[in-house]
Structure 1
Amino acid sequence: MKKYILPSIKLTIVMVVLLALVYPILLSAVGTMAPGAGKGETISVNGKVVGYALVGQKFTDDKYFQGRPSAVDYNAAGSGGSNKGPSNPDYLKVVQGRIDSFLVHNPGVKKEEIPAELVTASGSGLDPDLSPAAAKIQIKRIAAIRKLEESKLIGLVDQQTQGPLLGIAGPAKVNVLKLNVALDKLQ
């Protein structure tokens, strides 16, 4: 019995030291090298924090690019989807309402041209990014309201577009908050 208990106690002590001390310290050290030093990447304008780069924000003013809808009204404390399937009548009514609203605010855009991400919420409800196509479909509206040339806005979207990770993993994306901050700096 002594043959098994002593090694078990030694192994337990080694694992407690590794998993309760070494591993958390290692993770904290790696986190401090990340943008925002492990506290999240904040976006500041004139020294004032206006949001977090990895959390979707609500933009309702037509002079801004609007991001993905949120099933949780952009509440990071309670992230989540709607949990309604694609054939659920309530869900279809919500999506149709978003389509109708988008068409009212973006005259000249046809229903078939609207990227799905502009009318459907993400799984977390906090997606901060859009595809470049979803950003560019909003350019006519923003150019008209801000009295800017569309080509200037296209260049801004292209400038703010992040390519796939390592050039191969994932789609190209545009962070909506960063894009809107850059948009305000244009004027």
Structure 2
Amino acid sequence: MVDILGHARDNLILALIIGCEIAFWVFLLAGLVVRYPMRSPRLGAALLLCTPLVDVVLLVVTVFDLRSGGEATWAHAAAAIYLGLTLGFGHGIMRWADQRFHHRFAGGPPPVTPPKYGRAKVRYEWKQFGRFAVAWLISVVIMAALVFFVSTPAQTEVMWKVAMPIMTGTGAAWFVFGPLMTTIRPPRPRSGFHKTHIG
């Protein structure tokens, strides 16, 4: 019976994470469609402001579930990591989508594309890794808050022994194969490649 309840709780948290991801994109796309094709910037901005509420819902449900005395599982750890990644990368995703809608429907400038070569590429890689570092820090803060204010270290052991090593290992690999290698050997255009300048 305990196992059945545990699986049900895990499935609830997992379903909520998936639902939050879907809701994020629904609010984002709805806000951009209303802002640009439908020419209603105020309503569009209101819909875009709803995207952070998705994270609040997930956090509240996770806190309530642990306060009820349940032991944290991989699903709760995934919720903390998801919140960190959303807060770390969400604004960049929204800006990426806004540029494309602005260009397509409102005559805005062409979307900014990531640089491929030289120092600009190095700066870009460090900036992207910086966002991951912010996401990692937010996830750690959320997990620490769940331990000290909601649950106990024993109940949230899976977060520290499973979730954080995985996320930290991912960050270490990203650092080595991303900004570090790009800094040591910045990509250069192929031989014979010539830039064209528009006067």
Establish whether TM, by shorter chain, passes 0.5: no
Q: Which structure would you say has the larger Rg? A: 1
Q: Comparing both structures, which one devotes a greater share of its residues to strand?
A: 1
Q: Comparing both structures, which one devotes a greater share of its residues to helix?
A: 2
TM-score (norm 2): 0.29
